[in-house]
Structure 1
């Protein structure tokens, strides 16, 4: 069983708006190994897999990245 905790609707909606508008975000999240990351990202999509939700984004260097939504601690438009 997963330890995933769903995020709030308001947060999910803010991510959807950033995707639709093509807004780059500064995102802070904690990886599964406990390390903290802060990066500018271009959000591309939101996906659900096995009852967990993920942000699909592009890094500045163009590499794709997938972040489980409950690991995101903060984000703000750039």
Structure 2
């Protein structure tokens, strides 16, 4: 069983909409500083939900949704 905690539906929809419309978002990852990310895809794998996103520097990262704060 996974320790994944589902995020609120409104946050999930915000990520999906940003991916569809290629919008950039300010997101806090873990307890770190805010990062500017462009969501590319939101998907489910291994009992958790994930975000594939591009950073402002052009790197592509994969983040578990329950580690993000808006």
Normalising by structure 2, what TM-score? 0.89
Aligned match for 2:32, one of 22, 30, 36: 36
Query: Which residue does the alignment assign to 2:69?
Result: 73
Aligned match for 1:56, one of 52, 56, 61: 52
Runs of 4+ in 1 over 4 A off after TM superposition: none
CA deviation map 1:45-64 (0-9, x unaligned): 00111110011100112111
Query: Which residue does the alignment assign to 2:19?
Result: 19
Structure 1 residue runs without a partner (length 5+): none
Structure 2 residue runs without a partner (length 5+): none
**RMSD across aligned positions (CA):** 1.2
- Count residues in correspondence: 70
Deviation of the 1:2 alpha carbon: 2.1
Normalising by structure 1, what TM-score? 0.81
**Which of the pair is proportionally richer in strand?**
1
